[in-house]
Every structure is written in C-alpha cells, then in structure tokens.
Homo-oligomer: A and B are copies of this chain.
Amino acid sequence: MSRSATGPQTIDSSDRRDEIVEAAGRLFSESGYHTTSMRDLARAVNLQGGSLYSHITSKDEVLFEIVSRAADEFLAAAASVPAELSPAFRLARLIQGHLRVMAREIRLATVFFQDWRYLSPERREIIALRRDEYEAHFRDTIEAGAEAGVFHVESPRLAAIFVLSALNWTYQWYDPNGSLSPDELASQYCRMLFGALGGPNQLKLEAGND
C-alpha cells in the first residue's frame, strides 16, 4: 500500500524493514504487543532503539503491518477457492485454506487475534472491514448450502460463527512443528464441521494447490 518514498538519504532496503516486521511478529506473538518494547525489538535485529525509526514510523505501524499481512493471507486463501464448486466443496476448501495459512503463518495469526484491538482507531477500522469480508465468504457459502438443501442449519449466521470459532481458536493450541499436519487437521475438522451443519459425510479434499 503505502510505499512512501522515505527519501534519498536512506537506502532503507525493505529487506531491513521486513526483518524488523518479522522479528516483531515473533516477539509480539510470544509476549504480546504491549509487553514488547521497541528496545526489545531493536535488540532482536541488532540495532539501537532509536535506529528503528529510520525504517518504520511508529509501533502502531509495525503492528498494522503484521495484522495486515495476516489478513492478506487469509483473504487470498479464501479468494483462491473456485466459485464454481458446490457449496459443500467450497466450504471444505475454505476450511483447508484457513488451516494451511494458520500452520504457515501462526505468528502473524496469533498477533492478529491477540493484538488487533490495540491498533489505532483508523487502522483498526480497516482491519475490521477485511475481517467482515472474510467471514462473509463462510456465511455466504453456508447460506448457499442451506438453500440447496445440503446443509441443515437453524441460522446460517450462527453456523458461520460456529465454524470460524473452531478455525480461529487453533492459534491457541496448534503446533505447526508437531505431528498433526494442517491437511490432516483439516480433514478431521471437516468431518466434525460437516456433521455440525448436517452436511454430507464423505467429502474428498483433493490435496491440490492452495
């Protein structure tokens, strides 16, 4: 978005900036946004505290960068699900995509869920809109499935919340380095979630592209 030219004086390889954001993702996800100081962050990238500010403009901006990237990943995964698929297959792919992103970017996701409320109001609003957009993918798919008679739910809105609860909570316990692969988890969660929605029982997920 804002690749504002920081001026000619600093070379500011966005390499360095990326390094800072990545370290921040790690530190914030481990210790929380407010308990990580800018000096902690500087130390993690071998800089003095003040030197951070030739690469970033504020702590809030760093948080936004992390949360934004997480939102990007989730939205891209949802957008990659072919609209021609049936609602049941679409939902299965949404679930699989969500859990793959969660496994690949668990630190971004953790900061997203834990600290996005501490963004400045303007930036928080931007994220709120994208989160709504993401949830709409699930709600619309469930609604379509309900109308087609493949899902049987009392309230598609509540059902969407229910599905997203299971998916979002994974950041609290899932270990990407553990023995449970994201696709294996997706398979088990699909089974349970389809049961919850009164949907079809044996969907085969092609182990395809993202």
Which A residues form the contact surface with B (CB < 8 A)? 32, 34-35, 114, 117-118, 153-155, 158-159, 161-162, 164-166, 168-170, 173, 188-189, 191-193, 195-198
Contacts and interface: CB of A to CB of B under 8 A. Distances in A.
Given A34-B35, A118-B32, A195-B198, A166 B162 contact: yes
A63 to B, nearest CB: 13
B173 A169 contact: no
A181 to B, nearest CB: 13
A168 B169 CA distance: 8
Contacts of A192: 153, 159, 162, 196-197
Nearest to A185: B158
B158 A169 contact: no
Given A159-B192, A165-B165, A168-B169, 6 more contacts: A32-B34, A114-B114, A162-B166, A165-B169, A165-B170, A193-B196
Which of A169, A173, A189: most chain B CB closer than 10 A? A169
Contacts of A117: 32
Contacts of A35: 34, 118
Contact of A155 (B153, B154, B188, B193): B188
A168 B173 CA distance: 13
Contacts of A166: 162, 165-166
A117 B35 CA distance: 11
Which of A114, A162, A164: most chain B CB closer than 10 A? A162
A27 to B, nearest CB: 14
A114 B172 CA distance: 11
Given A196-B195, A198-B195, A173 B188 contact: no
